[in-house]
Amino acid sequence: FEQAAKISPNSPELFSIWGAALRMAKKFEGAKKRFARAHELSPDDEEITFNWGMTELEADHAKEAIRLFQKTVKLSPDNYMAYNMLGKAHGREKMYEEEKAAYKKAIAINPDFAQGHFNLGIVLGIQKKFESAAPHFLKAIELDKEFEKPFVIQMLTALGHYDPAAEKPIKKETAPVQQAKAETPPAVEKVEEIKDDKKSEGSDHKMEEGSKKVKNTTSIKGHIKINGKKPGPNTLVFLETKSKLRVANQKPETLTIRQNGLQFIPQHSVIQVGSAITFSNEDREVHNIFSKSLSNQFNLGAMASGSAKTIEFTQAGPVVLRCNMHKDMIGTVFVVPNGIYTKPNADGDYQFDNIKSEGYILQVWDPMLAPDEVHANIKSADLTGVDQTFDFDIKSASVAGEIHDMTDPTDYNAIVDNIEREMLQAIEDWKNGKKFISRKRMLMAITKHYDGEGLKGAIAKSFSSKRSIQLEQKLDNIRKEISGYGESKDPVTEDSLISQARFAVSQLRLNVKELEARLQPDNDLGK
């Protein structure tokens, strides 16, 4: 890039691509300088302005990002992606009314923009406007199943908008997205709402159904039956805030799970989100601990006797532990979203005392319950200070001792297909003299598909960061040759680029095959 800049010191395109490359490498200060230079050379280029804003946002400079995204939408009033990122930047500053207005503008421009509906649902949820959030979550799911995330389904189920047994929304006579019209609330309303947030978090007019808070804390209790019987010792009851925010004083924990006698000890554990588990091999045999659980998949690789490895769990939900070397080894970890959880006593009774009065989702989990059985028994718990009772009479097709998993549905081969298609089109554009679009397509192959769709992270987590970076470098070498950067031993031709692309894709597919072998063992594993 430095050599190219000496040759073309007044090329905004060059400095923009240089900035994008530095942003990919997380070198934000250098990226900002290059985008600033590109903007100086071409101040009315909406793409340069937008990408500079993206850099500021990734660098956690939300105020500067807001300024740049606002300029982007002035240059391009129909740029719904810029409005979407403007909303995210406002969200970083906790300017929720401005954040909502930006998302509403984005989906007013493009009503089928699933990400905009999803983001609007999130900010409405943060403001505890759950009924207003629900139509936007439903619309996002309708447009793109990618947004059918567990926490969204939990909230929609609790509100009566989703049937987990049928795995589809419940149709109601509502106008789901009327509030999608772009509007900016009066300044007075914004000030009053922010002031109210600081004064009384979880106040009555923000509780769904208009419930009135009469006391700051609430106690709840209940009784649990599974197939008409008392629950087992590993049954768990927990509360999750509907806002999905962590509770006060929530701290990560540390836990050691030993492999001894070809067993996980303890076999069943509970930790909070953000906690770390060390797996310690006390057997004489080699172990290869892994999990294919949704959002918490990992593979620790071969672990010799006496070795230990640690992994952090950043997503809530069940984790089923297995060993590739010993099919009979199986255990569970449940990652709770916060510290509000308990286990029922021997009679199936449970109790929570003095819980902060606000909206919660109440769930029961047991290793024997299938995911749809868990979802079918979610309860909405809007605590107002009046003590309440929530009983569970759960029906399950499983038998005691069964362990069910929630597996990762990501299609990594489809991601490689996207990368291959983008690269080959980039080469075609390069051949036809479309230099800028060809470079942009290669950046999309790397940043949007390889990194953004999760393949890079999955390879890093299951194998090593070094391997994921080396694969990325193969893609980036093609981008550099298309861009004319660096020195190449041989002339850059269409055939040479296609050859490199085919080789890179073959390497990615081999890694996907190995990844799937690790994360999707034989069907009879653990039975």
CB-facing half-sphere around the CA of 171: CA atoms within 13 A: 0
Judging by beta carbons within 10 Å of its beta carbon (0-12, 13-18, 19+), is residue 250 exposed, middle or buried? middle
* Same domain for 75 and 165: yes
Backbone angles phi, psi at 333, to 5 degrees: -130, 130
* Same domain for 378 and 419: no
* Same domain for 420 and 390: no
* Same domain for 255 and 385: yes
* Same domain for 370 and 221: yes
* Same domain for 348 and 466: no
Contact 293, 318 (CB under 8 A): yes
Return the DSSP state at 47: H
**Out of 294-298, 365-369, 435-439, 454-458, least confident range:** 294-298
Nearest one of 257, 320, 256, 326 to 287, comparing CA atoms:
326
Q: Is residue 401 part of a domain?
A: no
Q: Is residue 198 part of a domain?
A: no
Q: Could you report the per-residue pLDDT of 153-162, keeping only the tens digit for each?
A: 777 777 777 6
Q: Is residue 135 part of a domain?
A: yes
pLDDT over 80 (residue 194): no
* Other Cβ atoms closer than 10 A to 49: 28
Structure tokens that stand for 360 in this block: 């919660």
Q: Is residue 406 part of a domain?
A: no
* Same domain for 470 and 514: yes
Q: Could you report the per-residue pLDDT of 60-113, keeping only the tens digit for each?
A: 899 999 999 999 999 889 888 889 999 999 998 889 899 999 999 999 998 988
Three-state SS across 68-123? HHHHHHHHCCCCHHHHHHHHHHHHHCCCHHHHHHHHHHHHHHCCCCHHHHHHHHHH
* Same domain for 104 and 15: yes
Q: Which of 362, 394, 426 finishes a domain?
A: 394
High-pLDDT (> 90) share of the chain, %: 32
Q: What is the mean pLDDT of the chain?
A: 81
* Same domain for 353 and 256: yes
* Same domain for 119 and 265: no
Whichever domain contains 307, its CATH number is 2.60.40.420
Q: Is residue 524 part of a domain?
A: no
Q: Could you report the per-residue pLDDT of 395-449, keeping only the tens digit for each?
A: 998 877 778 766 556 788 899 999 999 999 999 999 999 888 898 899 889 988 8
* Same domain for 512 and 485: yes
Q: Could you report the per-residue pLDDT of 15-63, keeping only the tens digit for each?
A: 888 888 888 778 888 888 888 988 888 888 888 888 888 889 888 899 9
* Same domain for 334 and 271: yes
Structural domain harbouring 68 = 2-180
pLDDT at residue number 279:
95
pLDDT at residue number 464:
76
pLDDT at residue number 270:
93
Give me the number of domains the chain comprises. 3
Q: Could you report the per-residue pLDDT of 453-503, keeping only the tens digit for each?
A: 888 887 887 777 788 899 999 999 999 899 887 666 788 999 999 999 999
